[in-house]
Amino acid sequence: MSRALLLRGGRIVDPSQRLDVIGDVYIANEKIESLGEAVDVGSRDDVDVIDCAGRVVSPGFIDVHCHLREPGREDVETIATGARAAAAGGFTAVCAMPNTDPVTDNQAAVGFIIRQAARAGASRVYPIGAISLGQRGESLAEFGEMVGAGAVAVSDDGKPVASAHLMRTALEYARTFGIPVADHCEEPTLAVGGAMNEGIVSARLGLKGVPNEAEEIMAIRDILLARRTGGHVHLCHMSTRGSVELIRWGKERGVNVTAEVCPHHLSLTEESVEGYDTNAKMNPPLRSAADVEALQQSVRDGTIDVIATDHAPHHYDEKEREFADAPNGIVGLETAFAVNVTWLVARGVIDVAMLVEKMSCAPARIFRLPGGTLRRGTVADVTVFDPDADWTVDPARFRSKGRNTPYAGQRLNGRVHLTAVDGRVIYRLEE
Amino acid sequence: MSGHAAAPLGKDLLGLEPLTSEQITLILDTAEPFKEISERVIKKVPTLRGATIVNLFFEASTRTRISFEFAEKRLSADTVNVASTGSSVQKGETLVDTARNLEAMRIDMVVIRHGASGAAQFLADRIESNVINAGDGMHEHPTQGLLDLLTLRDHFKRIAGIKVCIVGDVLHSRVARSNIWGLKKLGAHVAVCGPRSLLPNAIDELDVEVFERIEDAIDWADALNILRLQLERMQAGYIPSLREYNRVFGVSRERLERASRDVLILHPGPMNRGVEIDSDVADGPFSVILDQVTNGVAVRMAVLYLLSGGKPELAEAAKGGGSR
């Protein structure tokens, strides 16, 4: 039986209950036992008491989109290192995308991830199964068996589903199991060969660009297919102002569409590619300042439901090459919260409660996961953070094996102090 | 090589975008005295004696590589040519490993041609030696831009105010980018002409005029810089056929004769005669295509000289002896 945990005197922010009070959070038997009222544990020695004065206690963050590279590229990341990186970033749970090697497209592969995660004993890891066998875009994977083994969604992320028919079928079939279809929106013939956003910077640097429409064409296709089928389409890593308008259009018509945006698309523009910096190479690419502005506002107005990391570790020498040939993606688990605080909260775009909603409550609700709330009796997945503290990003200190971040050396606001899963502290900032 | 700190161009020549108009003019002015060396019986001066230069050509090239090699040899540098075929690149060696090995061999300068945009900068950021971009992907080809400028200046006696239209596949052309930067910095009016499918979507933001009809471009321009149309553009679906391209955008004598003024003809080569340019234009009275080739050696000599720390004011003297 685990020890009890008393988080004393913090600011409790739980948007799932519209709660924002100063008080104690008491955790026993892996559950939230009491919330808000003062708890006196006297001299009991079976309770760990942590002073949270001046800090925020919130439901644990949940990342619905990360890449943990195991199986296949354990040199780049493992489920264990990824889960520890997640814990350090304040995430009590993460959803692992299936573009591993072999692809997570069957119940055995799903079971493997769950066993590895249990062994790691850090943040929870929920597998996402592939939409299509081998992510080849040809025939559906066995959703039912994968969900039975623990998958929480399906996605061919990393690759778009080129066939509209296959996407329609996936949306219909996924309804049977009540899971979202997480959608990588990229029209492949428009995006082919693209290395960055199409615009003035790509024209100057002589890099093939990916136009906004590559994302938007697929976004509207799949919003229309979700409307036709009643399936739940979750649009991954949205990056353009046009996509935001299309999502709004869908939601206004009652389509079962949700969407996520990544911290890097909320904070960086295509200008970051200047000098051919491969740490600014990602898919979808960093867009224009107008896109960033529209995405920030869409987080504020609710058009975008979730902020997800798209954590994509790569070995340093894979990024140390010609820009067009370098792989896409950056690590994000350990910087996501602070990037969001720096670019959204500190600048007044959203408040702390809204950030917790986007990083915890909404992900839990949309992917039907435990957590995302501090209600009494629920799983005790908790994050404690200081929204005002600042720190300098030093990739050498990451728990992730990946070091590929465009934020290296930057001073960011917002620091995670503690992460607990089932009331067990899995990360605590060394002070 | 000593003299980096004082070098008037900085350590590397990666493109014309980062250069000032003064630096571009300096290169052109420095090239002038070097032209004469190529006219001599013994075409050699000792200016870069003892310097080692590696010509790293990861992409097929004949005229640019030969032009650089002549420039280096006429300045008495020791040169080594490396091509991707037969090199360790074919065995999978990365560009960064290549850079480290070159650095370990204590060379002085690298001339790099590479299929990836940014490859020259990638190398320059990682080695102490001077790096000269001899064409990187779709980014820049600065010495081509410079030799085009020199050729135009020779003819018009100025760059400021002249109207130059770049014709053809601007989207994929490193020559076009270097030309646009160089010409604009020196005060020329710049336009592009070609099918919209071969122009960058954001071309208007570069502050250049766009002509959709070659007749309009010819009517406007003092000079046309005609780009090579590559066969693969047709296969990739950017244009329907080479035949149609010739009929709509090809520069023919008939079209030139209808213009209200004489139009100078440039082409970076190699030419597709009968596609982007007809033979009677390429070989016609207003063609300066072979002058471009001649000027290419002088410009490259000037760049090598200046990057190696050669003093601009001593360029004339460097014709006769060592200046390093």
Q: Which of residues 294-323 of A touch B (CB under 8 A)?
A: 317, 320-323
Task: Verify whether the Cβ–Cβ distance B138 to A208 is below 8 Å.
Answer: yes
Task: Verify whether the Cβ–Cβ distance A206 to B206 is below 8 Å.
Answer: no
Min Cα–Cα distance to chain B from A201, Å: 9
Q: Which residue has the tokens 């040519």?
A: B81
Which candidate, A316, A429, A416, places its Cα nearest to that of A56?
Answer: A416
Which candidate, B72, B67, B81, places its Cα nearest to that of B48?
Answer: B72
Residues of chain B found within 8 Å of residue A202, distances taken between Cβ atoms: 200, 202
Highest mean pLDDT among A42-46, B68-72, B200-204: B68-72
Q: DSSP class of residue A129?
A: B
Min Cα–Cα distance to chain A from B182, Å: 13
| Cβ-based neighbour number of residue A301 at 10 Å | 11
* pLDDT single digits (tens) A97-114: 999 999 999 999 999 999
pLDDT at B1: 46
CA distances from B69 to B72, B134, B135, B174 (A): 5, 12, 15, 21
Q: Please report, rounded to a whole number, the percentage of residues in chain B having pLDDT higher than 70.
A: 94
Stretch among A180-194, A268-282, B37-51 having the lowest mean pLDDT: B37-51
For the cut 80, the answer to whether the pLDDT of residue B323 exceeds it is: no
Structure tokens at B205: 């933001």
Mean pLDDT of chain A: 97
Task: Verify whether the Cβ–Cβ distance B118 to A204 is below 8 Å.
Answer: no
pLDDT at B3: 42
Q: Which residue has the tokens 């995670």?
A: A416
CA–CA gap between residue A26 and residue A86 (Å, rounded): 23
Task: Verify whether the Cβ–Cβ distance A209 to B201 is below 8 Å.
Answer: yes
Residue B235 pLDDT class (50, 70, 90 cuts): confident
CB neighbours of A88 closer than 8 A, spacing ≥ 6?
A: A333, A334, A398, A399, A416, A419, A427
User: Which positions of A are annotated as active-site residues?
Assistant: 310
Mean pLDDT of chain B: 92
CA–CA gap between residue B220 and residue A12 (Å, rounded): 70
Residue B2 pLDDT class (50, 70, 90 cuts): very low
CA distances from A176 to A4, A97, A360 (A): 39, 21, 26
CA–CA gap between residue B322 and residue B47 (Å, rounded): 4
Q: What is the mean pLDDT of residues A375-399?
A: 98
* pLDDT single digits (tens) A250-298: 999 999 999 999 999 999 999 999 999 999 999 999 999 999 999 999 9
Which candidate, A8, A52, A55, A4, places its Cα nearest to that of A30?
Answer: A4
Task: Verify whether the Cβ–Cβ distance A200 to B206 is below 8 Å.
Answer: yes
Q: What is the mean pLDDT of residues B174-185?
A: 98
Min Cα–Cα distance to chain A from B322, Å: 36
Residue B90 pLDDT class (50, 70, 90 cuts): low
For the cut 50, the answer to whether the pLDDT of residue B4 exceeds it is: no
Residue of A nearest to B205 (CA): A200
Structure tokens at A120: 């790691």
Structure tokens at A240: 């353009």
Which candidate, A209, A141, A218, A207, places its Cα nearest to that of A183?
Answer: A218
Which candidate, A404, A402, A427, A405, places its Cα nearest to that of A77?
Answer: A402
Residues of chain B found within 8 Å of residue A317, distances taken between Cβ atoms: 94, 96
Task: Verify whether the Cβ–Cβ distance B200 to A202 is below 8 Å.
Answer: yes
CB neighbours of B261 closer than 8 A, spacing ≥ 6?
A: B222
B234 touches chain A (CB under 8 A): no
A276 touches chain B (CB under 8 A): yes
Task: Verify whether the Cβ–Cβ distance A205 to B117 is below 8 Å.
Answer: yes
Residues of chain A found within 8 Å of residue B174, distances taken between Cβ atoms: 206
CA–CA gap between residue A72 and residue B222 (Å, rounded): 60
For the cut 90, the answer to whether the pLDDT of residue A43 exceeds it is: no
* pLDDT single digits (tens) A201-253: 999 999 999 999 999 999 999 999 999 999 999 999 999 999 999 999 999 99
CA–CA gap between residue B183 and residue B150 (Å, rounded): 11
Residues of chain A found within 8 Å of residue B140, distances taken between Cβ atoms: 206
pLDDT at A83: 98
Question: Which of A208, A211, A322 has its CB closest to that of B122?
Answer: A322
Can you tell me the ipTM of this complex?
0.89
CA–CA gap between residue B206 and residue B201 (Å, rounded): 11
Min Cα–Cα distance to chain B from A408, Å: 18
**What is the H or E stretch that residue A382 is in?**
strand A382-392
Which candidate, A195, A110, A205, A119, places its Cα nearest to that of A155?
Answer: A110
Q: Which of residues 177-206 of B touch A (CB under 8 A)?
A: 177, 200-203, 205-206
Read out DSSP for B159-228? -TT-EEEEES--TT-HHHHHHHHHHHHTT-EEEEES-GGGS-TTGGGGT-EEESSHHHHHHH-SEEEEPP
Residues of chain A found within 8 Å of residue B95, distances taken between Cβ atoms: 321-322
Q: DSSP class of residue A327?
A: P
3-state secondary structure of A7: strand
For the cut 60, the answer to whether the pLDDT of residue A300 exceeds it is: yes
pLDDT at A427: 98
Within chain A, how many helices (H) and strands (E) appear? 14, 18
Q: What is the value of pTM for the model shown?
A: 0.93
B18 touches chain A (CB under 8 A): no
Min Cα–Cα distance to chain B from A326, Å: 11
Residue of A nearest to B138 (CA): A206
Residues of chain A found within 8 Å of residue B122, distances taken between Cβ atoms: 276, 321-323
**What is the H or E stretch that residue A108 is in?**
helix A107-120
Q: What is the mean pLDDT of residues A405-417?
A: 98
Task: Verify whether the Cβ–Cβ distance B119 to A322 is below 8 Å.
Answer: yes
- Quote the distance between the C-alpha of residue B202 and its chain's center: 23
Highest mean pLDDT among A255-269, B85-99, B195-209: A255-269
pLDDT at B60: 85
Read out DSSP for A8-21? EEEEEEEGGGTEEE
* pLDDT single digits (tens) A315-361: 999 999 999 999 999 999 999 999 999 999 999 999 999 999 999 99
Single-letter amino acid code for the residue at A167? M
Residue of A nearest to B120 (CA): A322
3-state secondary structure of A242: helix
Residues of chain A found within 8 Å of residue B202, distances taken between Cβ atoms: 198-200, 202-203
A198 touches chain B (CB under 8 A): yes
Structure-derived torsion over alpha carbons of residues A73, A179, A118, A423, reported in degrees to the nearest 10: 130
CA–CA gap between residue A161 and residue A185 (Å, rounded): 8
Min Cα–Cα distance to chain B from A313, Å: 20
A371 touches chain B (CB under 8 A): no
CA distances from A242 to A35, A249, A269, A296 (A): 42, 11, 16, 13
Give start and end residues of each alpha helix (H) in chain B: 21-35, 63-74, 95-104, 119-124, 142-156, 174-185, 214-220, 231-235, 242-249, 253-257, 279-282, 289-307, 315-318
Q: DSSP class of residue A273?
A: G
Task: Verify whether the Cβ–Cβ distance A324 to B140 is below 8 Å.
Answer: no
Task: Give phi and psi for B81, each to the nearest 5.
Answer: -105, 130
* Interface residue of A272, A276, A279, A317 to substitute, partner B, most B CBs within 10 Å: A276
Single-letter amino acid code for the residue at B217? A
